[in-house]
């Protein structure tokens, strides 16, 4: 599904990602964890070219993203992204947030887009909010709308960047439930998270980044029970 080879990313002289190679297979749920500033967000953002890699390649379904720029929009349509701070469109209703991109980008008819949007809203438990504006929603509701908005494009891969970090504790669960559901439905997912519970229970694989280096890449059970490296052990001691 997505293959990363020898990925480097520099901001000026600051080398944020160093020689990252990994692969995410279809239907796989991968958790990306690591200390603050280790490059998790940057790594995720390289997967849909919100950041341009300095060198190395990202290959999505056989298409090399570091090639000519023309197809970026096409490829981005196949990759949904959910942000820490939601980034819903505040001047559009919940329903419009879901239908705008499918109509504009894929040329879907309004009736069809709305029908699909309603199905998605039902799936994330927000059927009664379709006419509401984002500012009237709670954090957890906003994030569920944001997930639905990304799903409305029918992506093959979903990227999550700390989707629960900006939420009040009592709202974390409702968002994680939606994500677990999504994982069960077979969606391919890359999730940057501080929710070790989620990484342990839902993820098929855990990637551990530290100072821009991919330090560990393996099964959650192995990673949490017997981390191979000193750095991972230190990190787990602090967060668990």
Ligand X SMILES: Nc1ncnc2c1ncn2[C@@H]1O[C@H](COP(=O)(O)OP(=O)(O)OP(=O)(O)O)[C@@H](O)[C@H]1O
Residues of this chain that interact with ligand X (CB under 6 A) are 11, 14, 16, 34, 36-42
Q: Which is nearer to ligand X, 43 or 223 (CB)?
A: 43
110 near another protein, judged by CB under 8 A? no
Cα–Cα distance for residue pair 140/148, rounded to 1 Å: 12
Which among ligand X, Mg ion, another protein, none contacts residue 74 (Cβ within 5 to 8 A by kind)? another protein
Pairing of strands 29-33, 188-192: parallel
C-alpha distances (whole Å) from 156 to each of 80, 135, 186, 188, 223 are: 8, 29, 10, 7, 27
Contact with Mg ion (CB under 5 A) among 31, 38, 41, 193: 41
Angle between helices 139-151 and 110-123 (to 10 degrees): 130
Q: Which is nearer to another protein, 153 or 183 (CB)?
A: 153
The answer to whether residue 135 forms part of the interface with another protein (CB under 8 A) is yes
Nearest to 2 by CA among 159, 213, 157: 157
Contact between 38 and Mg ion per CB under 5 A: no
**Which partner in another protein, ligand X, Mg ion, none is near 67 (CB below 5 to 8 A by kind)?**
none
Rule CB under 8 A: is residue 149 a binding residue for another protein? yes
Do residues 178 and 147 make contact, with C-beta atoms less than 8 angstroms apart? yes
Identify what 48 binds: Mg ion, ligand X, another protein, none; CB under 5 to 8 Å per kind: another protein
């Amino acid at each position: 599904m997505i293959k990363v080879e020898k990925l480097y990313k520099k901001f000026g002289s600051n080398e944020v990602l160093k020689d990252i190679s990994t692969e995410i297979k279809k239907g796989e749920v991968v958790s990306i964890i690591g200390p603050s500033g280790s490059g998790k967000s940057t790594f995720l953002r390289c997967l849909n070219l919100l950041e341009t890699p300095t060198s190395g390649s990202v290959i999505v379904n056989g298409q090399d993203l570091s090639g000519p720029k023309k197809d970026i929009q096409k490829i981005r349509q196949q990759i949904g992204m959910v942000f820490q701070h939601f980034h819903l469109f505040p001047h559009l209703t919940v329903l419009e947030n879901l239908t705008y991109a499918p109509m504009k980008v894929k040329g879907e008819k309004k009736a069809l887009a709305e029908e699909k949007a309603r199905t998605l809203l039902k799936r994330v438990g927000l059927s009664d909010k379709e006419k509401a504006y984002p500012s009237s929603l709670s954090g957890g509701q906003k994030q569920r709308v944001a997930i639905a908005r990304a799903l409305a494009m029918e992506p093959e891969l979903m990227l999550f960047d700390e989707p629960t970090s900006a939420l009040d504790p009592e709202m974390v669960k409702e968002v994680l439930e939606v994500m677990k559901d999504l994982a069960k439905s077979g969606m391919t997912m890359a999730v940057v998270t501080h929710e070790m519970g989620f990484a342990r229970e839902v993820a098929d694989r855990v990637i551990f980044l530290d100072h821009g280096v991919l330090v560990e890449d393996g099964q959650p059970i192995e990673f949490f029970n017997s981390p191979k490296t000193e750095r991972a052990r230190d990190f787990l001691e602090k967060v668990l």
